[in-house]
Structure formats: structure tokens, C-alpha cells
Amino acid sequence: MSVKSIPKLFIPLSLTVFGLSFSSHSKASLLTQNTPKPRPQEIVQSGEVRPLPGKLDNIPVFNSNSPEWIKNEGILLSTFPGKGKKTPTAHLNFPFQGRFDLFAHHYTHTPKDLQTLYIGVMLHNPNKQAVTVNIPQAASYLMTEAPFVTLAPYIDNNDGKTFSGPGARAVADVLRGVRQKDFPSKLVIPPGQSRMLLNHPIPVRNLEKPVNGRSSFMRMKSSGKVYIASMAMFAKKTPTSGNKLPVSPKGDRAPTLKEWQTLLDTGSFAGPRDKIPTPPDATGGQLIYGRVAGVSEGSQWISNITDNAAAKNLTIPNPGKAISYPLVTLRGGRLGTEQKQTAKMLVRYGDTAYEAHGNYCVEYNLVMPLINSTKQTQTVSVTLETPLKEDKLSQGGIKFRKPSLDFPFFRGTVRVRYTNDAGKEVTRYVHLWHRTGQVLEPLIKLTMPGNSRRNVQLNVIYPPDSTPPQVVTVRTME
């Protein structure tokens, strides 16, 4: 996983601009230079950290995220059989059938002659009868369509118009049940033939900085076995007979199905390759998670959060206390729970991630049947927040910091459903933009009379370009 921060603009001020001489202010300058910055305040949250109930389902996910930055065209991820292919090791021989998801997330940076890079996703039907692939939700965005921007911690996003990155925008669309008009509701593939699901550009020409990327996320269901490949190819400049694909004013055009097929049959890995990940059995050295290229297992984590497996409710904590449930825990970041939620890889390339560490595009469906078992009215809050990353809790609780570290570790839209204090059922979509260790206001607050119950449901499709772990915290106010 990478951490992308929003750089600050730093403009040094010259004393001469203000007509000041160094000698007349040297003492003040030295005092300023020698005054230490105040140490950040570390805050340990009082309360419990519990493992998240539930588990990942077994839905396979076509997970194409390596190499993240593409310079050389080639195969990004192929689940085709390797037989008859020039580079057999580039093909993982994994057919999909029934429900599956597809995630592809790649960038291009200063390509030669500012060529447009295309991302292609091909589906192949190896059967003797036609296969229908239904596509209920699908979205694909360029970084230029959803730039990385600094936003407020909370913005109501019921209209879907707030976003802070292409991956965050794509998963927010799917969370809302959207299928972009670029994608059909179903794709019928004749026996033994292939069809392009995605043949989309990543243009850099005419940009201030020639950097762009594309994030795509889809949920699908196939009536029969299909093989899938994602590939990268630069735009073609030569016309083709009867070509109906769009041609830019520069003469660039999208690759044809035949050209994609040739790349699949005769091509090798796209490059450059990402950093080699740290093996799971390593006991020392730097921990490198690596980028994912393979099929991961798990599309959704359904969690009914109660006091224990036999209970029907989640008892709110004592006043001033909190209960936190981590999301997307991983090696080196389990927050004291000893729970690793990372999706395992069913098949993968040998130089890519051993697990789907970020659980990108995995949906967390969390139901919290809250109960106030006291006789007094209590104010209860629910917050999705990003504590400082730890594997074991060094001070007995999760830690935050004032000021927070200047990295956006979570940026994306969540859905929350609950009964408000007026007894009305509410559904809200809220865009979150949170820094590491940031102390936040609650996502929602509820006033619960004594011996009352209140249901809260939180849905989070984990957004690409976020960095785990996060926690869902239930807190009772003092």
C-alpha cells in the first residue's frame, strides 16, 4: 500500500521584502530558531478494543493493482490458462463462475511522447454454449475526474458529488448501486469467444503534470465459466479497416479486440515491477506489503456486533468509556486484537503481495443493535476513525494525536442507517477525509432513554488510496 499525502505549499518569506535588515532582527530570529516546537499530545482512548465479529465471504475478487505505476505495456493480471501463451507464468488459470468482483487500479506517469495508455479487461468464454455475465454495478474513473483533494472530515454526500480520488469515487458509486452508462447491464459472450469489458484510456496530454490514473470496480455474476485478463497498451496511431473505436484529434485510437488478444497471447508482464513483498514467515527487517495482482477471496464482511456470540444486543459502554472494533487489520497492524482480516490470495504472481492487505473494495456491513441497560438517559456516539497504527497496544488502548499526522489515511464515502431521536429511519451517505491519529467529532450521536434499544448499520466499501487499520468506536458521553 502506498500513502499519498497532499503536499503543502511552502513559500519562504525574505526579510528584504519587508525592508528589514537581518542585523536589526537577528536576536528575534535566533530566538525563533531556538524555540522548540511543542511536542504533540498523545491521547490514549479509554475503553476496550474487541475483535470484529464475522468473517469474509468466499466470493472471488479479480484484484489488479500491480504494477501500480505503468511504464511498459503488457499483461497486468491474467487468469487464462498458460497453455499456448508465450509467457505461461503470466497466466494463473483461474476460471470465474457465479458471483465475483473486479477491481483494477493503475497509473501512468510521463509516458514517452505523452502517449495515452489504455487499460483493457477481456472476458473469455471457454464453454460450448454462450455465457451471460450480468453487471449490476460498475464504475470507472480517471484521477482527473476525481482528483486527490483536501476536504473537511465530514461532508454529507447523498447526491454522490463529493469525492477525493478515483478509487474512492468508484466504490462510492457501487455503494449507491450505480452502473455507469459505459457498461452494459449484461455481456453475452458466444462459445469460445472473448469480449472487452473495459477498453478505457488514461490520457496525460494537456495536463499540467503528465500523471493520471484509472480506478475501476464492478460487481458481476456469470452463468458459466469465464477467464479474465487486465492489460495495459499504449494508444495506436494506425487506422484499421472499419474501425469504429474513437480516434482522438492526435490520431490516437483505442486498441482493438484483436490487438488485445495478440498482447495476451504473445506479451509478457507490464512494468516496471513493484517492490518485492516481505514473506509471511519473515521475522525481521522492513515489512513490505507489496501490491496485489491475483485473485483474492472475500467480497464482503458481514458483522452483527453484539456483546458475544450468544447475545442479541450490544450494551453501550459506561459513561466516558468506549468500545472499538478494528477494520482491515493486517500484519503489523492488529491493534492488540490478534485478528488479521486480510483477504487471502487464491492465486497470485510470485513477486506480488501474499495477501490483499488493504482489502480494497471489500464491503464491511456492520450492524450494531445498541441497548442502554441503565435507567438513565445516555448520549451515545458512533465514529469511524483512524488511530495510530500498532500491532500490540503499547499503552493498553488505541492512540490518537494532537495535532494529527499530516497524511490522509481514510478518504471515501460510507453509508449509515439508524433511527434518529425523533423515531425516524434515516439513511445518510457521508464522505470522510481523515488524517492519521486525528481526533474526530462523532459520525452520529444518539440520545437513548433508559432501557431502550437503537439499531445502527454502517456500510463501508474500503476505498482504494486509504491505508488501514481503522476502528468503529461506540462511546457513551460523560
Distance CA 72, CA 273 (A): 10
- Say whether pTM exceeds 0.85: yes
At residue 237 the predicted structure's pLDDT band, cuts being 50, 70 and 90, is confident
- Helix ranges (H only) for 208-321 are 257-266
As beta bridge partners, residue 233 has: 118
Task: List Cα–Cα distances, 314 to 39, 103, 308, 457, in angstroms.
Answer: 38, 34, 8, 13
Question: Are 295 and 60 contacting, i.e. CB atoms less than 8 angstroms apart?
Answer: yes
Q: What is the mean predicted confidence (pLDDT) over 48-54?
A: 97
pLDDT digits (tens, 9 = 90+) for 375-415: 999 999 999 999 999 999 999 899 999 999 988 999 999 99
What value does the mean pLDDT of the chain take?
Answer: 91
As beta bridge partners, residue 211 has: 109
At residue 248 the predicted structure's pLDDT band, cuts being 50, 70 and 90, is low
At residue 453 the predicted structure's pLDDT band, cuts being 50, 70 and 90, is very high
- Predicted pLDDT at 164: 96
- Predicted pLDDT at 129: 98
As beta bridge partners, residue 141 has: 215
Enter the DSSP assignment of 207. Answer: -
- Predicted pLDDT at 305: 98
The amino acid sitting at 118 is: Y
Q: Is 9 a residue whose pLDDT tops 90? A: no
Beta-sheet pairing, 425-435 with 154-156: antiparallel
Question: Are 437 and 404 contacting, i.e. CB atoms less than 8 angstroms apart?
Answer: yes
Per-residue three-class SS string for 4-72? CCCCCCCCCCCHHHHCCCCHHHHHHHHHHHHCCCCCCEEEECCEEECCCCCEECCCEEEEECCCCEECE
Q: What is the mean predicted confidence (pLDDT) over 133-148?
A: 98
At residue 240 the predicted structure's pLDDT band, cuts being 50, 70 and 90, is low
At residue 370 the predicted structure's pLDDT band, cuts being 50, 70 and 90, is very high
Beta-sheet pairing, 300-304 with 363-372: parallel
At residue 250 the predicted structure's pLDDT band, cuts being 50, 70 and 90, is low
Distance CA 383, CA 362 (A): 19
Q: Is 48 a residue whose pLDDT tops 70? A: yes
In sequence order, the 6+-apart residues with CB closer than 8 A to the CB of 165 are 4, 143, 146, 147, 148, 215, 411, 412, 463, 464, 465
pLDDT digits (tens, 9 = 90+) for 187-215: 999 999 999 999 999 999 999 999 999 99
- Predicted pLDDT at 238: 74
- Predicted pLDDT at 19: 31
Q: Is 234 a residue whose pLDDT tops 90? A: yes
Query: Does 418 or 252 have the greater pLDDT score?
Result: 418
Task: Find the Cα–Cα–Cα–Cα dihedral 290, 294, 295, 296, rounded to 10°.
Answer: 0
Q: Is 132 a residue whose pLDDT tops 90? A: yes
Cα radius of gyration rounded to whole Å, the chain: 25
Q: Is 15 a residue whose pLDDT tops 50? A: no
- Predicted pLDDT at 29: 46
| Cell 505523452, residue located | 114
